[in-house]
């Protein structure tokens, strides 16, 4: 359990950012993850009064405020009309509704957890994070940036007609994933993302206008993935096991995209 000496309801982002430069101070998301630790927090910085808990939409994009909960993104009908609903699919195994009602998208993406379902799914889409000092950065770059004291203001997902599919393998339905896999296809361009390897999610972009009805072309894609994505071991599974799972999940996701079918999870 963490302890907090002082609690500050930030009045604006500049105040929150400057307080966050002190190593003892911490930005609060939903505190679901923070409360598992033992950090002695000097000032806990709450962003709740800054209007960052909305999902906004225009013709080109969705903008999701950092204080939106995972449950907000799971139940947002507009958002889940796109990308074959993979955003909802990527969160609905995360523990239970009670946790998803607390955990925020800001805390989730800023932390860049190796096991993250949401990070894996969003990397397969045209996604950006808007950082207070760092500006708008593609999620595919942000995932490899070192942790710093910036503030993630919101997440931007560009609208397009890409088809997408998301699957995980878990030992039980609400456990952390042993492996997570998202695949999307847009205009002949394939994004394959493997997360919970157990390292951070990795995106491979394959720009080939494959006729993917042929099995041998799927095999060629799997070979590219094998050459470019490594797998590690932990108590949930060995690297070798994850490699085998990856081939199955990639194949099923590609199948689902091509056939419009549903393999479930």
Ligand X SMILES: Cc1cc2nc3c(=O)[nH]c(=O)nc-3n(C[C@H](O)[C@H](O)[C@H](O)COP(=O)(O)OP(=O)(O)OC[C@H]3O[C@@H](n4cnc5c(N)ncnc54)[C@H](O)[C@@H]3O)c2cc1C
Q: Which residues bind ligand X (CB under 6 A)?
A: 26-34, 36, 66, 70, 94-95, 103-104, 106-108, 110-111, 115-118, 151-152, 176
User: In 10 A of CB 21, how many CB atoms?
Assistant: 10
Residue among 97 and 208 whose Cβ is closer to ligand X: 97
Asked if the peptide bond before residue 198 counts as cis, ω within 30 degrees of 0, the response is yes
With contact defined as beta carbons under 8 Å apart, do 249 and 182 qualify?
no
Q: How far is the CB of 26 from ligand X (least distance, A)?
A: 5
Nearer to ligand X, 44 or 218 (CB): 44
Minimum distance between the CB of residue 32 and ligand X, rounded to whole angstroms? 3
Provide the minimum distance between the beta carbon of 211 and ligand X in the complex, in angstroms, as a whole number: 34
Our CB check for ligand X shows the closer of 103 and 167 to be: 103
Residue with the CB atom nearest ligand X in the bound state: 107
State the minimum distance, in angstroms, from the CB of residue 248 to ligand X: 20
SS3 82: coil
Nearest by Cα to 48 from 128, 94, 107? 107
Q: Which is nearer to ligand X, 180 or 218 (CB)?
A: 180
140 in Cβ contact with 109 (< 8 Å): no
- The smaller minimum CB distance to ligand X, of residues 203 and 218, is found at 203
Q: State residue 28 phi and psi, 5-degree precision.
A: -95, 125
Please list, in sequence order, all residues whose beta carbon lies within 8 angstroms of the beta carbon of residue 36, skipping any fewer than 6 positions away: none
Indicate the residue among 75 and 111 with the shorter CB distance to ligand X: 111
Taken as a whole, the chain contains a residue count of 265
DSSP strand E in 47-126: where?
55-57, 61-65
Min dist CB 52 to ligand X, Å, is 8
Residue 185 beta carbon to ligand X: minimum distance, rounded to whole angstroms:
23
| 144 Cα distance to chain centroid | 13
């Amino acid at each position: 359990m963490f302890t907090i000496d002082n609690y500050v309801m930030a009045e604006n982002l500049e105040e929150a950012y400057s307080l966050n430069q002190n190593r003892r101070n911490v930005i609060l998301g939903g505190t679901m993850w923070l409360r598992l630790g033992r950090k002695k927090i000097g000032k806990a910085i709450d962003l709740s009064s800054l209007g960052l808990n909305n999902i906004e939409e225009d013709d080109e994009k969705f903008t999701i405020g950092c204080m939106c909960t995972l449950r907000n993104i799971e139940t947002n009908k507009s958002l889940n009309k796109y990308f074959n609903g993979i955003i909802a699919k990527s969160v609905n195994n995360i523990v239970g509704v009670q946790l998803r009602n607390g955990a925020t998208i800001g805390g989730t993406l800023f932390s860049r957890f190796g096991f993250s379902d949401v990070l894996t799914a969003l990397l397969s889409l045209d996604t950006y994070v808007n950082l207070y000092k760092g500006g708008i950065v593609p999620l595919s770059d942000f995932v490899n940036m070192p942790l710093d004291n910036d503030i993630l203001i919101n997440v931007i997902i560009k609208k397009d007609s890409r088809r997408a599919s998301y699957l995980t393998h878990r030992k039980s339905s609400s456990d952390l994933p042993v492996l997570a896999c998202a695949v999307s296809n847009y205009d002949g361009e394939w994004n394959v993302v493997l997360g919970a390897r157990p390292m951070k999610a990795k995106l491979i972009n394959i720009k080939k206008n494959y006729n993917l009805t042929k099995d041998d072309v799927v095999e060629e894609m799997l070979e590219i993935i094998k050459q470019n994505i490594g797998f590690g071991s932990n108590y949930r599974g060995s690297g070798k096991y994850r490699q085998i799972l990856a081939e199955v999940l990639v194949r099923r996701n590609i199948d689902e995209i091509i056939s419009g079918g549903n393999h479930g999870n």
